[in-house]
Amino acid sequence: MKIGDNAPGFCLEDFQGNEHCLQDFAGKWVVLYFYPKDNTSGCTKEAKGFTEMKPEFDKLGAAIIGISKDSPASHERFINKHGLEILLLSDPEHKVMEAYGAWGKKKNYGREYFGTIRSTFLIDPEGKVAYAWPKVRVNGHVEAVLKQLKAQLPA
């Protein structure tokens, strides 16, 4: 996934069973982030960071969408436990993650396995990738995304 590429379309469910499609956000900026697992330390910090900064993203006309392979029920618990105010979608078969290059081989303690690669994509109102963070470190990430979004907007 490179800057200027068309963002792959998708339709996924939220915790209430409502379907959300990328095309529903046509004409808006979208912060699309992929994360490994609900209620883990890094994923919680990232989701809470996006929730805290949501008013800033809203002012700039940007929607925030988080995607993991967790179930809608897991998302509901995650949202309720941490007071999250961002849209979380379930991709249990990791098809959307694969389309964005956010699913791949990982190593942990010498063990190799396939899993979610924490990554974020800034999608412009025309549905093109405006910026990509292929391997995210949580600390400072939300601020970096907001800064990049502001840089993309006309002065």
Convert the pLDDT of each residue in 129-150 to its tens digit. Answer: 999 999 899 999 999 999 999 9
Distance CA 155, CA 153 (A): 6
- Residue 11 is among the residues annotated as catalytic for this protein: no
Answer yes or no: are the C-beta atoms of 47 and 66 closer than 8 Å: yes
The whole-angstrom separation of Cα 27 and Cα 71 is 29
Give the model confidence (pLDDT) of 83-129 as tens digits: 999 999 999 999 999 999 999 988 878 889 899 999 999 999 999 99
| pLDDT the model gives residue 108 | 78
| Burial (CB count within 10 angstroms: exposed 0-12, middle 13-18, buried 19+), residue 13 | middle
The Cα–Cα gap between 55 and 110 comes to 41
CATH, range 28-136+146-152: 3.40.30.10
Q: Of 43, 47, 63, 129, which is the active-site residue?
A: 43
Q: Which pLDDT value is given to residue 106?
A: 85
Q: How many angstroms separate the CA atoms of 7 and 35, rounded?
A: 18
Tell me the pTM: 0.94
